[in-house]
């Protein structure tokens, strides 16, 4: 472990000399977080530029990194560590030179001396940690930053701000943790004094396309809840993926071009995890639809969604993912004790009665409409009809109209105006208040169809003789 001890001493000297070398012009490196042998390596700007630009975002980033335990290293040490981490693993042992009919095979010793047990143990330890290490280079440009050889990311982007905020707090960004699960991330930051420059194209860096299906199908490699029978084993893996409900659920989510996207991870009660991709403007209700489409057996099971930290139930499902704070988040689908025992329905009944206005109001509403539902009031037309929506119910029961009480039981569907009729029957998701109908001179004012009442039927005038005339037969009064 002699090399590790020397490495410790060199880093300790660089720490002690960093405070007194503020006038040096070269860049300095810092290790953020972790311990002596893990964390983030940060290449900072020169001391003069830091002292003169404390208000600059990049300078604040490096200063925050240092305040969270950054370890100063020189550029030479940084290059040496990069070369050391990129060393190929070499296996050294004795070999044999093949003989012939005149000379037998003989043993050949390695050209380099065999390392001692301590050196071999140290080398094995370094090789072991190198398998779990992932180097990520973060380049800070004048007009943004880039990760490895990726595209430019501006400072104004909300995802970029969240990424840099994590670094300023001394944490590895969640984006990198999800991109490299189970790896020790070595985040290295470099400051560039120039605008972003696209990396040079690497030869043969594209991707190919395999013709045909040369890989034999794997029997039993179906999706969750599926099992392939003998008649399906001859199909290719592409036919299996087409029936994957998770893929179908993702295809049902329309991603809008030009809008930022996010990933939401859903953990199911059986431990399975599914990941969906959404726009920031998608609602929590659409996440629920995604879960039901991915796992169809959930369509007839009541469940609620919860956030991981802090753990709370997501109640406002009409909110967007951005407003609900669910960007790049993880949520749980759970059935509590109330759902398992059925007591949740009793609590729901009491909640509905309370929202209606009491027991009498609930009985009156039940008498008039033959149902008791509560929801969000989305609008009211000129006839006094109120329109509600509650997405806890299944379509098309999630939208309904409530007629004014003065009509009592004399109401029918013809009393609903055409514009609201389209919204009630899911022809559109925009109410007439959000998207008013176009006014035309030839459009008459909407009136209900009164043909169901005998005293109000419209009978057109006609002079045509009736083809069939009714008659009343006479009766005999005398005896035969």
Are 34 and 169 within one domain? yes
Are 40 and 133 within one domain? yes
* Range with the poorest average pLDDT among 3-7, 191-195, 213-217, 254-258: 213-217
Rounded alpha-carbon distances, angstroms, from residue 390 to 9, 312, 393, 395, 416: 67, 21, 6, 10, 19
Within a domain: residue 462?
no
Give the whole-angstrom CA distance, residue 75 versus residue 20: 17
Are 331 and 348 within one domain? no
Within a domain: residue 175?
yes
Q: What is the mean pLDDT of residues 290-299?
A: 80
DSSP 356-400: HTSHHHHHHHHHHHSS----EEEEE-TTS-EEEE-TTSPTTTTEE
**Count of structural domains within the chain:** 3
Within a domain: residue 363?
yes
pLDDT at 103: 63
Are 320 and 384 within one domain? no
Within a domain: residue 424?
yes
Are 27 and 68 within one domain? yes
Confidence of residue 319 (pLDDT cuts 50, 70, 90): confident
Are 428 and 450 within one domain? yes
The CATH code of the domain that includes 262 is 3.10.20.90
Q: Which domain holds residue 366?
A: 344-456
Kindly report the average pLDDT of the chain as a whole number. Answer: 69
Within a domain: residue 369?
yes
Copy the structure tokens of residue 20. Answer: 């007194």
Torsion angles phi and psi, residue 270, rounded to 5: -85, 5
Are 256 and 327 within one domain? yes
Instruction: Give the tens place of pLDDT for each residue, 446-456.
Output: 777 666 556 66
Q: Structure pTM?
A: 0.31
Are 133 and 181 within one domain? yes
Helices (H) and strands (E) in the chain, counts: 14, 14
Are 39 and 183 within one domain? yes
Are 326 and 366 within one domain? no
Are 25 and 144 within one domain? yes
Are 436 and 365 within one domain? yes
Boundary (domain end) residue, out of 311, 335, 359? 335
Instruction: Give the tens place of pLDDT for each residue, 334-381.
Output: 655 555 566 667 777 777 788 778 888 888 887 777 777 888 888 888
Boundary (domain end) residue, out of 335, 359, 375? 335
Within a domain: residue 205?
no
């Amino acid at each position: 472990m002699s090399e590790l001890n020397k490495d410790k001493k060199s880093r300790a000297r660089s720490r002690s000399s960093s405070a007194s070398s503020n006038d040096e012009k070269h860049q300095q490196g810092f290790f953020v977080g972790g311990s002596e042998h893990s964390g983030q390596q940060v290449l900072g700007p020169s001391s003069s530029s830091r002292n003169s630009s404390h208000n600059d975002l990049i300078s604040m980033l490096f200063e925050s990194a240092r305040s969270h335990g950054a370890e100063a290293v020189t550029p030479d040490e940084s290059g040496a560590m990069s070369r050391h981490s990129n060393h190929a693993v070499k296996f050294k042992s004795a070999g044999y030179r093949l003989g012939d009919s005149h000379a037998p095979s003989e043993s050949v010793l390695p050209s380099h001396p065999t390392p001692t047990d301590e050196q071999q143990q140290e080398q094995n330890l370094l090789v072991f940690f190198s398998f779990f290490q992932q180097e990520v280079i973060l380049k800070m440009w004048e007009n943004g930053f880039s990760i490895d050889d990726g595209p430019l990311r501006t400072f104004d982007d909300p995802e970029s701000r969240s990424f840099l905020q994590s670094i300023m707090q001394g944490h590895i960004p969640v984006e990198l943790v999800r991109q490299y699960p189970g790896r020790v991330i070595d985040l290295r930051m470099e400051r560039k004094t120039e605008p972003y420059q696209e990396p040079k194209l690497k030869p043969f860096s594209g991707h190919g396309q395999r013709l045909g299906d040369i890989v034999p199908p794997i029997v039993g490699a179906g999706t969750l809840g599926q099992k392939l029978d003998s008649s399906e084993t001859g199909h290719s893996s592409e036919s299996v993926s087409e029936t994957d409900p998770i893929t179908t659920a993702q295809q049902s989510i329309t991603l809008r071009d030009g809008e930022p996207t996010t990933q939401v991870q859903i953990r199911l009660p059986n431990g399975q995890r599914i990941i969906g991709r959404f726009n920031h403007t998608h609602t929590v209700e659409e996440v629920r639809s995604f879960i039901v489409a991915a796992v169809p057996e959930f369509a007839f099971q009541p469940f609620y969604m919860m956030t991981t930290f802090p753990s709370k139930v997501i109640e406002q499902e009409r909110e967007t993912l951005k407003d609900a704070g669910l960007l790049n988040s993880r949520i749980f689908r759970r059935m509590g004790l109330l759902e398992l025992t059925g007591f949740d329905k009793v609590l729901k009944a009491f909640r509905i009665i309370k929202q209606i206005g009491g027991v009498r109001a609930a009985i009156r509403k039940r008498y008039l409409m033959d149902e008791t539902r509560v929801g969000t009031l989305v609008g009211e037309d000129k006839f006094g009809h109120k329109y509600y929506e509650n997405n806890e119910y299944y379509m098309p029961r999630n939208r309904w109209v409530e007629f004014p009480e003065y009509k009592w039981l004399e109401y029918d569907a013809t009393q609903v105006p055409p514009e609201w009729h389209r919204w009630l029957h899911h022809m559109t998701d925009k109410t007439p208040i959000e998207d008013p109908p176009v006014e035309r001179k030839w459009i008459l004012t909407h009136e209900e169809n009164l043909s169901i009442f005998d005293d109000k039927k419209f009978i057109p005038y006609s002079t045509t003789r009736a083809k069939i005339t009714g008659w009343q037969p006479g009766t005999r009064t005398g005896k035969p």
